[in-house]
Structure 1
């Protein structure tokens, strides 16, 4: 069975952010809304792409060793080309995730682009005393909306003329909710 692809509005938002700001991009939201898919969608745009998933034992052991251990695997000292993209998936499950990301960003933030994906727990750091302040920008990823089904790209202007909406899409949205999986079938 081949998997269909769906371009989410968030891909364009993240791409714009990566090109214009030197900050980590945090993608937070409920399960199955496409956070990991958005993060991985940039793999072909970068000469080097690294994906670390806290749920994978090998990746977890490497992350626990600290930012320098991950940096050695990536090989920052040998890089001459365009900066790599690094995705840390579900890293918020590590109780020291904030310290890890702060250390990694402080060591290598000038040499790479970083996307962090995870649940709503990524919002926890918004409270006072945030050691990551200024180092990230949070995008809250939501299930599909009628607007995104009609126009999955960001508007070039604020107002658009009405666009027809297929009744089947609306019925499917009402039947299945806004999670992308049923729309990929």
Structure 2
């Protein structure tokens, strides 16, 4: 077990005086159970209750008062109650609607008990078969390992700490870029990261990828009970990986015979499982940040390692000295999008890109990031500043003077002027600094305001 950043998030949740039962959400295989089991070591009493087991399920289905039910959980877990804090982890909670309903009573009647719930298929069942008590629970998302967590797993804690503070000396740049390329290749699924950290064998990871992909495909009947929806979901889980980082059309997606309505429903179902996200553009360079759902979205999957394996890209990524040159730059967009999503543990977190609203314009910025009421353009591209035409188009419309370019080069700031004469600051950050974007923007934007 290597330390996940989510442990710090869980500690912050536990220390809050406004704490409510926590619903931990995330795709299968992102390590929800492992993280909570590790967190449970910080409690004098840790009760793990898996509702796939009939005994546990029947306990929740009983009409026992909550204090007595808690005593029964100690019996179920074969543990004696000790003085100190108690953490109750209800795993696979989607198997018991009564367990879901009882979460509100933990909040109201036993606030001293720390309660976390999770489920491998929870995401696809929420708002369909499962309804959580509004205002009585809170949510946290767990995602694949970020590059920072990968660095910790492979024992590069000192470099990781410098990266987090955006203070890495240029002398270490080539070394860390090489490590980021490995991370881009293998991805951040915890089992993959753990196995690579243990023996450094990339080839053996294919067995892990295949097992994960088969597991996702086997879940299709649980997401949708037969019919066309099941067929479309299965098709997306087979063919859709090759479209990571690309704008897609829903009708006849990936050469399929399926209609836009059928494909859209399948994508929305998979988005609930947090396996993927359809990222929609905004056409405004100023707040509020609003998605334009009439335009084509980009497809981003949960993990770059799974994309590389499923789409047959591993050899191309492995041989690339600059990932912006690999697979037409799509894998670079996928991994940057993955790192941007990892900046937040909010379930509601969404990514956006920018398209110029003018008819006939092809200007498009890979991502935009909301910071301090400013929409910051984030372009993933190498090359000279003059070629960043889309950022120039964005900055001509933006009410501020800040833009970000992600590349394989060194960290620097350029003073740039658009063809219309507007001056702006272009912050060039290496790929490994995407996870430090908040700190970098704070350093520059707040210091300039002072």
Normalising by structure 1, what TM-score? 0.75
Aligned to 2:358: none
Q: 2:25 aligns with which of 8, 25, 28?
A: 28
Q: Report the Cα distance in structure 1 between the residues aligned to 2:39 and 2:26, rounded to whole angstroms.
A: 19
Relative to structure 1, is the Cα distance of residues 93 and 143 closer, same or farther in structure 2, using a 3 angstrom cutoff? Answer: same
Q: Does 1:160 align with 2:171?
A: no
Q: Report the Cα distance in structure 2 between the residues aligned to 1:44 and 1:147, rounded to whole angstroms.
A: 23
Alignment of 1:81-100 (within 5 A): 81-100=83-102
Alignment of 1:110-121 (within 5 A): 110-119=111-120, 120-121=122-123
Q: Report the Cα distance in structure 2 between the residues aligned to 1:43 and 1:123, rounded to whole angstroms.
A: 26
Provide Cα deviations, 1:10-30, integer angstroms capped at 9, x if missing partner: 011111110123211221011
Q: Does 1:62 align with 2:59?
A: yes
What is the aligned residue count? 172
Provide Cα deviations, 1:44-94, integer angstroms capped at 9, x if missing partner: 22111111011122222222225635323257xx97832311111110232
User: Over aligned residues, Cα RMSD in angstroms?
Assistant: 3.3
Alignment of 1:1-185 (within 5 A): 5-21=1-17, 22-66=19-63, 68=66, 70-74=69-73, 81-108=83-110, 110-119=111-120, 120-121=122-123, 124=126, 132-150=133-151, 159-162=165-168, 165=176, 167-168=178-179, 170-171=181-182, 173-185=183-195
Q: Is the 8 A contact 1:28 1:123 kept in 2?
A: no
* Structure 2 gaps, min length 5: 75-79, 196-450
Structure number with greater Rg is 2
Q: Report the Cα distance in structure 2 between the residues aligned to 1:178 and 1:123, rounded to whole angstroms.
A: 25
Q: Report the Cα distance in structure 1 between the residues aligned to 2:41 and 2:82, rounded to whole angstroms.
A: 18
Higher relative contact order (Cα pairs below 8 Å, separated by 6+ residues): 1
Relative to structure 1, is the Cα distance of residues 123 and 145 closer, same or farther in structure 2, using a 3 angstrom cutoff? Answer: farther
* Structure 1 gaps, min length 5: none
Aligned to 2:213: none
Normalising by structure 2, what TM-score? 0.34
Q: Is the partner of 1:70 in helix, strand or coil? A: helix
Q: Report the Cα distance in structure 2 between the residues aligned to 1:44 and 1:97, rounded to whole angstroms.
A: 24
Relative to structure 1, is the Cα distance of residues 70 and 169 closer, same or farther in structure 2, using a 3 angstrom cutoff? Answer: farther
Deviation at 1:159, TM superposition (A): 4.6
Deviation at 1:37, TM superposition (A): 1.1
Q: Is the 8 A contact 1:28 1:122 kept in 2?
A: no
Q: Is the 8 A contact 2:150 2:188 kept in 1?
A: no
Q: Is the 8 A contact 1:87 1:115 kept in 2?
A: yes
Q: Is the 8 A contact 2:21 2:106 kept in 1?
A: no
Q: Report the Cα distance in structure 2 between the residues aligned to 1:74 and 1:178, rounded to whole angstroms.
A: 34
